[in-house]
Structure 1
Amino acid sequence: MKDSSQDGYVWASPGPYEVQRSFRRRKRNGGIFVLVLFSFIGFMVFGMSYFASPYVSADAQKGVGYATVAEKEIALVPYRRSGSRGLFQMITQDTFQVRLFAVELDTGRRLWDTQLSSMPPGWQAKVITAGARNAYVATDGGLVILDLATGDILARDGDIQGLPNPVTSSAAYGYDASSTSIVAMSADGGLRTIPLDTVVAAPAPPELARTWRSKLSPQRPGTESTSGASSSHGVLAGREKVELIPREDVPGLRLVRRTGNSGGTPIGETVFHEGRLLLTPPPGEVEGKGFPDSSSSAAGTPAGLVVVQHLRDLNSRNYAVSVVSVQTGQVVATHPIGPGMNRVLTSPGKRTLLFADGEDSMLGDGLATIGLDGRINWFYLGTIDFFGNPSF
């Protein structure tokens, strides 16, 4: 039956003054909640494992090299890095690494830090030589050629053109100064040469091969000691020596310079307690078999400086290293260090490299560069960020 009450009623869209109601959906925050939850879990797993893990250990190796980049003298330092901090580094980083970094000796600024290989502990790396553009590093995994300016690896191991079967021993490579070329032993016993600043090998000339055949070896060398040396005296220049001698009737030592058995001329008035002079091989050299000997120089003396390790004061058991000007007797710089034996090298440009225990034993070994002006620039070896990358 038709409803008469609906007669004449017309359905139409809302007029200009009418508002059509719409249904509002409730905003859901589930996505944000899940994001926050996973972020929290990630922080707990990766972040807490990072803070709870010990610092990685890093040890400098013996085969340091030197070069010049942008008219600045740099040192090329190979070192071993062991361990990882946190779960993220365990997943993404090699536990054992052999690396090489470049550092400006005047400023202590590190230019780059490159992983050479993931070698087990005990394997060696040494800088053979460096040209104007390239550095050549022998490792127990083979030869690595790097760009001096960037640290990029240009060629390595079996990828070196002309050296298809390289020997995996750092003792199988050397530098021939007369021909300015790297000499490499191949697995078939033949010798190849790589001209400096190139990456292509070629058969060695017969005369050069005869000279080098007995100098290279396919056997991996044993772990070489990198301990330093210290003494109460060291060579200053020629027959002149610098010494630490006791003061009369009072504690402490003072610096003097003397020739032969003369009484000596004081170098400044600074008093050192339990002081030792650090010794260095000749500029540009690493420790030889006879180091130290009676002709070993006191560290810093090629640049007119003396480097002294000593207690910070009479009542302290903490150590520091001080740089003293031979000419003025003034202490140019002092830096706290750990109590261990320190290793010192001198660059061809008479700048000083000091490997020492750091003041903070948790951070491990450190390196100080001492420029010609005597300033000390210090940093810890193997410092890394959350992702395991070198931290400069």
Structure 2
Amino acid sequence: MYRTPPQYPPVMPYQTPPPPRRRVLPLLLLPLALFALLFFGGSYAVSPEPEVEMQSGFAFAEVDGRDVVLAPYARHGVRGMFQLMTQDLFQVRLAATDPATGDVLWDTQLSDRLVWEASVLAAGQRHAYLATDSGLVVVALADGSVVAEGAGVPGLGDAFAAVRTAYAYDPDARRVMAMTATGGVVAIGLDEVAATPVDAATAAAWSGRLSVQRGPGAPTSATGVEASLDSGVERVALRQAPGGAPGSVLVRVTADGREVPVGTTAFHGARLVVDGVTAVAAATGHVLVEHQRSVNDPGVALSLVSLATGQVTATLAVDSRVDRALVGPDGVTAVAAGELLAAARGDGRVVPLGIGLADFFGAHR
């Protein structure tokens, strides 16, 4: 009987397995990655922080229900090669900082000039207005973006004046006043952007207060030896320490002229920090004193003193004398001193606010 031969799988020809693929491309990129890490990361690690200088034209505004400080400042230099390639070497920026928490809500660049100043004139619910060396700048309070500036401000156009003294704020009418390059006077309502002409009487009244001529700003005094307290009746003053001892002590001057000592601490080279003629922090029951750090150290320090107990509740070393101090709606005081913006709080603390700090990529925080 015929039998079907068994079936075997066909014999396949021998195949040599392919050689393993060599990852040539990643190996070639490794030296490049190491070089980039050393070049950019190393330069960042060894570079100092850029120089920061606070400008005195800061103001308070409300952003998202928080009382914040709108603080212009100059930032000179960059940190590391990545920032050198992507950031301007000279910057003037505007930061919105909550002095109660230290949070920086936003920080935006306004200029890339070496010598350039800005002053916050006013802030509404949506916009803030700055007088700058390039004319009027309007920024959005929500994120700090520039809404209009210079010739881009409707109603000013090419007639804008690139000088800070051409702009001021009228608190009674809640509007920003501006003088054009031809001597005309226009106004911008708070939270509006377009400038509109004013009547002849208003123009005449403001013509003597605005100027398109460059010159020094109005002198301001942030310190004094005597100041009013929050009540407006009593005063606080610095007097020579008793017994001929070196330094000055604080006294409270009552309505009938009596002088009551406020603690026994003697301050050397002391001045009271004031907002106008009023002692800052008085609304929170304190006074702020600018003084030498010690009799042998001429460096500057700020001390917050309780009016109730006379105790020094906090002391902060600063790099220079106080340029300006401003009391916010809740009594917190913002103080600009050289490269530092600090806050004197109602809880008896004086803390620096982290303005001008940037990460590796140059993003401000």
> Would you say the 8 A contact 1:227–1:341 is kept in 2?
no
**TM-fit CA distance, 1:252:** 6.8
**TM-fit CA distance, 1:113:** 1.1
> Would you say the 8 A contact 1:108–1:368 is kept in 2?
no
**Out of 338, 351, 354, which is 2:318 matched to?**
338
SS in 2 for 1:274: coil
Return the alpha-carbon distance in structure 2 between the equivalents of residues 267 and 61 of structure 1.
33
Return the alpha-carbon distance in structure 2 between the equivalents of residues 377 and 152 of structure 1.
28
Task: Give the total of aligned pairs.
Answer: 355
> Would you say the 8 A contact 1:62–1:226 is kept in 2?
no
> Would you say the 8 A contact 1:344–1:352 is kept in 2?
no
**Out of 248, 255, 278, which is 2:250 matched to?**
255
SS in 1 for 2:151: helix
**TM-fit CA distance, 1:163:** 2.3
**Out of 368, 373, 382, which is 2:347 matched to?**
373
Q: How does 1:201-350 map to 2 (within 5 A)?
A: 201-222=195-216, 228-229=222-223, 231=225, 233-236=226-229, 237-243=232-238, 245-246=240-241, 248=243, 254-259=249-254, 264-268=259-263, 271-274=265-268, 276-282=270-276, 296-310=277-291, 320-335=301-316, 337-338=317-318, 340-349=320-329, 350=331
Return the alpha-carbon distance in structure 1 between the equivalents of residues 251 and 72 of structure 2.
36
SS in 2 for 1:334: strand
> Would you say the 8 A contact 2:66–2:98 is kept in 1?
yes
Amino acid at match of 1:221: G
- In structure 2, what is the equivalent of residue 153 of structure 1? 146
Return the alpha-carbon distance in structure 1 between the equivalents of residues 266 and 342 of structure 2.
20
- In structure 1, what is the equivalent of residue 23 of structure 2? 29
TM-score by length of 2: 0.83
**TM-fit CA distance, 1:58:** 1.7
**TM-fit CA distance, 1:234:** 4.0
Return the alpha-carbon distance in structure 2 between the equivalents of residues 256 and 34 of structure 1.
74
Deviations 1:120-157 (A, max 9, x none): 31x22111111122101111112111111321222222
Q: How does 1:177-188 map to 2 (within 5 A)?
A: 177-188=171-182
Return the alpha-carbon distance in structure 2 between the equivalents of residues 302 and 102 of structure 1.
23
Return the alpha-carbon distance in structure 1 between the equivalents of residues 279 and 224 of structure 2.
8
**Out of 119, 140, 149, which is 1:126 matched to?**
119
Distance change (3 Å), C-alpha of 1:262 and 1:145? closer
Return the alpha-carbon distance in structure 1 between the equivalents of residues 176 and 351 of structure 2.
33
**TM-fit CA distance, 1:253:** 5.6
**Unaligned runs of at least 5 residues, structure 1:** 1-11, 283-295, 358-364
Deviations 1:270-311 (A, max 9, x none): x345262432133xxxxxxxxxxxxx4443224321123456
Return the alpha-carbon distance in structure 1 between the equivalents of residues 82 and 88 of structure 2.
11
CA RMSD, Structure 1 to Structure 2 (Å): 3.3
- In structure 2, what is the equivalent of residue 140 of structure 1? 133
**TM-fit CA distance, 1:13:** 4.8
Deviations 1:185-207 (A, max 9, x none): 33444333221101122223332
Return the alpha-carbon distance in structure 2 between the equivalents of residues 389 and 226 of structure 1.
33
> Would you say the 8 A contact 1:140–1:220 is kept in 2?
no
**TM-fit CA distance, 1:251:** 7.1
**Out of 358, 362, 365, which is 1:388 matched to?**
362
Return the alpha-carbon distance in structure 2 between the equivalents of residues 376 and 148 of structure 1.
26
Amino acid at match of 1:90: L
- In structure 1, what is the equivalent of residue 96 of structure 2? 102
**TM-fit CA distance, 1:255:** 3.4
Return the alpha-carbon distance in structure 1 between the equivalents of residues 113 and 171 of structure 2.
29
**Out of 102, 105, 109, which is 1:111 matched to?**
105
SS in 1 for 2:252: strand
> Would you say the 8 A contact 1:228–1:341 is kept in 2?
no
**Out of 49, 52, 65, which is 2:59 matched to?**
65
- In structure 1, what is the equivalent of residue 3 of structure 2? none
- In structure 2, what is the equivalent of residue 4 of structure 1? none
Return the alpha-carbon distance in structure 1 between the equivalents of residues 213 and 67 of structure 2.
33
> Would you say the 8 A contact 1:124–1:223 is kept in 2?
no
Distance change (3 Å), C-alpha of 1:314 and 1:261? farther
**TM-fit CA distance, 1:318:** 6.4
